[in-house]
Structures are given as C-alpha cells and as structure tokens.
C-alpha cells in the first residue's frame, strides 16, 4: 500500500535558524516559508536527492506544533509521510486493519496541494504518520 517516503517533518523553534543550518551548513536547497493556515503551520521544504525534509513552525498560538514544541523545546521529528496511490482506498484498508485516522477521517489538502491524512501514533509504534496521495 505505501509507496515512497515523501518527507520527514521536523518541528523547529526557530525557523530562520533551521533554514540557515540546512542551506548554509549542510548545503541543501531550501524553499521559502509558506503559511499553511488550514494546518496551523508554516512549512519549508529541504530538497534531498531521494526525499525531502519538511521544517514545521507554528502559525499562531493554536497551532498543533505549539504543544509539540512545549514538550520538545529544541524541536524534533514530528511525523513521517508516505505516498499512496489512492488515499481513500488506503484509508479504508488502514481502518479495516484497526488503525485510527485522525480528525474527521476525510482527506485535507496538504502542503504539496495533494490530499493527506494522519494516522494515530499509538497505532504506528509511537510515530505520527501522514499518508499523501500521489
């Protein structure tokens, strides 16, 4: 069902510092920040030859990243994202296998402009998993 690893998302307390680290210190291609109001975050993508790193920064006080950064003040891995061919088929198969889909269970448009869903970390060995339709 799952395909390629699309990205690893890292929540960061200082977006500019994180961008500078990847751009200057590590020599990676780094996108400009993009507000994602539907998700309550600002995203930046670091392009790698085989995948991407998504830097996440809170967009407002009600951002889901705020609580994560309170528990992890230095930042850290927030979620991993796998590609799927058909998000509705994947959702239904995952639910039939006992995995919990977060939210209302309906896909939302993610940072890449494609449908996404998140799976409960307790069902994924402690890892928040995003699936994205390709």
Catalytic residues: 130
Q: How far apart are CA 94 and CA 100, in angstroms?
A: 8
As a whole number of angstroms, the distance between CA 44 and CA 83 comes to: 19
Residue 52 near residue 7 (C-beta atoms within 8 A): yes
The tokens of 32 are what? 């400009």
What is the spatial distance between Cα 53 and Cα 92, in angstroms, rounded to a whole number? 28
Cα(16)–Cα(10) distance, integer angstroms:
14
């Amino acid at each position: 069902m799952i395909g390629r690893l699309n990205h690893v998302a890292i929540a960061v307390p200082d977006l500019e510092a994180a961008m500078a680290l990847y751009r200057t210190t590590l020599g990676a291609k780094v996108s400009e920040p993009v507000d994602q109001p539907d998700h309550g975050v600002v995203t930046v993508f670091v392009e790698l030859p085989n995948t991407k790193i998504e830097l996440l920064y809170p967009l407002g006080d009600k951002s889901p990243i705020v609580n994560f950064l309170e528990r992890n003040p230095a930042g850290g891995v927030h979620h991993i994202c796998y590609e799927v061919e058909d998000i509705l088929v994947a959702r239904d198969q995952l639910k039939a296998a006992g995995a919990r889909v977060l939210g209302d269970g309906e896909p939302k448009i993610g940072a890449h402009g494609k449908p996404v869903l998140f799976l409960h970390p307790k069902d994924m060995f402690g890892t928040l998993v995003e699936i994205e339709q390709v």
